[in-house]
Amino acid sequence: MATSTMSASTAFAQSAVTKLLIIGVNAATGIISARALAPAGRGELSAMILSYSFLASALTLGLPSALTYQLRKRPEEASDLLGAGILLCMLISSVSAIAGYFLLPFWIPQYSPTVLLYARVFLLNTPIALFFVVGRAAIESRGGFRVSNLSLIGPPLATLVGLVSLKLTGSLTPVSAAWCYVLPGLPVFFWMFVHIQRMFAPRLHAVQKSARLLSSYGIRSHGIDLCGTMSLYVDQALVVRLLTPDLMGIYVVALSLSRLLNAFHTSVVMVLFPRAVARPPLEIIAMTGRAVRITTALTAICGLGIVLAGPRLLVLLYGADYRGATSILRILVLEVVLTGATQVLSQAFMALGRPGVITTLQAIGLSLTIPLMLILIPRLGLTGAALALLISTCARLTFVLASFPLLLKLPVPDLLVRREDITKISQQLGRWLSVRRTAEATSEI
C-alpha cells in the first residue's frame, strides 16, 4: 500500500508498533547502561547527552507544526516551504548550540571537567537532532509514516548494538556510552536528507515569503512544542542542576520506566494532526475525542501494571541500587497518562488553526513547573520533582478542557470510553491484520 494513501488506522498501527519496538530497545539500552554504570555513572551519561536533546526539542520555534500545517494547506509551495524550513532549522540549532556551550559550566558545576567537556562536544549534534524533528514532520504531512518510523527506530537499534559491544569488551564507560547515543544519528540524517530531497526537492526561491508563513504559524504554536519539551526535560534539567549524579541516575531510571507508556499517545499525535487539518470543526472534535478516549484508556491500563509491578521491575531490570526509584514511579506514571491526554486534546486546536490559544494556556500551566521544582526539590528531593510535574500537568489539562467551550465555542470532547470505540478499534485492527496476512501471502507466492 502506498504511503500517500495509507489509512489512518494503518498509519496508527504501524506507528504504535514502531513506538513499542522503540520502547523495547530503549528499555534494553537503559538496563545495560544502568547496570554497568551504577547510579552515579548513569547520571553522568544523562548530563552529557541531555543538553543537545533538550535544545533541539525546546527551540524548534514551532517549525514541525508549521511545516505540517502549511504543507497540507499549500501543497503547491512544498519545495519553497521545505527549503525555508531547513534553512531556519540550521540557523536556530546553530545559535542554540553556541548558547548552550557558554551556559553549560554554570548549569552543571558539580560534574567533573570530563563530563562538561563531552557535554559541550555533543552540542554539535543539535542541528542533526532538530533536523530529525523537522524532517519527520514534513514526511508525515505527505503520509510517509513508514519512512518516519524507520528514522525513529534506526538510531536506538544502533545504540543498543554499540552498548552491547562495549559491555562485552569491558569498555563501557559514561563517555563511551554517550558516543553510542550520538553517532548513530549521522547515517540516518543523510538517509533522511536524501529522501526529503527526492520527495520535496527543497529550494530557496521564495525564502522570505515561505519563512514568514512558517514563522507566523510556528511562533504561535511554539508554546505547544515548548510545553511538551519542558514536560519531558525540565525536570531532568533541574534535577541535574540541583542534585548529585547518583540521584540523577535513579531519577532517570524511574522516568524511563514511566515513559514506556508514551507509545499510544505519541502514535496518535503523529497521525491525528495531519489527518485533521482542513476538516469541519465538529468532525475534528469527534476525531480528537475518539483518539483521546482510546489512547488514555490503554495507557491507564498499562500504567496500572507498571505501578503494581514497579518495585520488582526496578530491581529485576536495573539492579538493587535503583530500589529508591519506587516511591516516585507511581507519581510519574499518573503524570504520563495525563500528559498524553493533554497532548492529544491539543491537536484539535492545532488543526483548527488556533495554535496561539493552546500555546498560551499550556504556558500558564507549565509556568508552575519551574517554581514548584525550585521549592519542592530542595525539600522533598526526587519526590518533589515528580510532584511538581504532576501538579503542572493537572493544571495544563484543566486549562485545555476549559478552552473548548470558552475560546473555541465548541463542546469538550467526550472523555469516557464508549462501546462503539472498542468496536471500531477492533474492526480496524482486524482489517489491518487481514491486510498484513494478504500481503504476506502474496509475497510468498
Q: What is the pLDDT, as a whole number, of residue 2? A: 39
The rounded distance, in Å, linking the Cα atoms of 252 and 247 is 9
For the CA atoms of 286, 335, 223, 361, what is the dihedral angle to 10 degrees? 70
Q: What is the pLDDT, as a whole number, of residue 14? A: 64
Whether residue 444 is contained in a domain is answered as no
Q: What is the pLDDT, as a whole number, of residue 166? A: 93
Percent of the chain with pLDDT over 90: 13
pLDDT confidence bin for 173, thresholds 50/70/90: very high
Q: What is the pLDDT, as a whole number, of residue 114? A: 93
Q: What is the pLDDT, as a whole number, of residue 113? A: 92
Give the residue among 193, 187, 186, 42 at the shortest CA–CA distance from 125.
186
The pLDDT of residue 274 is above 70:
no
Q: What is the pLDDT, as a whole number, of residue 217? A: 80
Q: What is the pLDDT, as a whole number, of residue 425? A: 63
Residue labelled with grid coordinates 527549503: 83
Whether residue 442 is contained in a domain is answered as no
Lowest mean pLDDT among 88-97, 211-220, 330-339, 396-405: 211-220
Give the residue among 351, 272, 311, 32 at the shortest CA–CA distance from 160.
32
Mean pLDDT of the chain: 81
Whether residue 429 is contained in a domain is answered as yes
For 232, the domain range is 3-433
Element (H, E) at 325: none
The rounded distance, in Å, linking the Cα atoms of 62 and 47 is 26
Specify which of 6-10, 149-153, 275-279, 381-385 reaches the highest per-range mean pLDDT.
381-385
Instruction: Please count the CA atoms within 13 angstroms of the CA of 375 that sit on its side-chain side.
Output: 9
Whether residue 85 is contained in a domain is answered as yes
Q: Who wins on pLDDT, 186 or 272?
A: 186
What CA–CA distances, in Å, run from 146 to 107, 184, 269?
39, 19, 15
pLDDT in tens, 30-60: 889 888 888 889 889 988 998 888 887 777 7
**Cell numbers placing 46:** 544523562
Whether residue 253 is contained in a domain is answered as yes
Lowest mean pLDDT among 31-45, 206-220, 354-368, 373-387: 354-368
pTM beyond 0.75: no
Give the residue among 105, 44, 113, 19 at the shortest CA–CA distance from 252.
44
Lowest mean pLDDT among 139-143, 159-163, 187-191: 139-143
The pLDDT of residue 61 is above 80:
no
Average pLDDT over residues 2-8: 46
Whether residue 389 is contained in a domain is answered as yes
Element (H, E) at 205: none
Whether residue 46 is contained in a domain is answered as yes
Give the residue among 415, 81, 131, 137 at the shortest CA–CA distance from 273.
137
Lowest mean pLDDT among 22-36, 38-52, 310-324, 428-442: 428-442
For the purposes of burial, counting CB atoms within 10 Å of the CB of 333, is it exposed (0-12), middle (13-18) or buried (19 or more)?
buried
Note whether 285 and 354 are within 8 A (CB).
no
pLDDT in tens, 358-375: 677 767 777 788 899 889
Specify the 3-state DSSP secondary structure of 182.
helix
Query: What is the domain count for the chain?
Result: 1
Note whether 67 and 199 are within 8 A (CB).
no
**DSSP 8-class letter at 243:** S
Whether residue 411 is contained in a domain is answered as yes
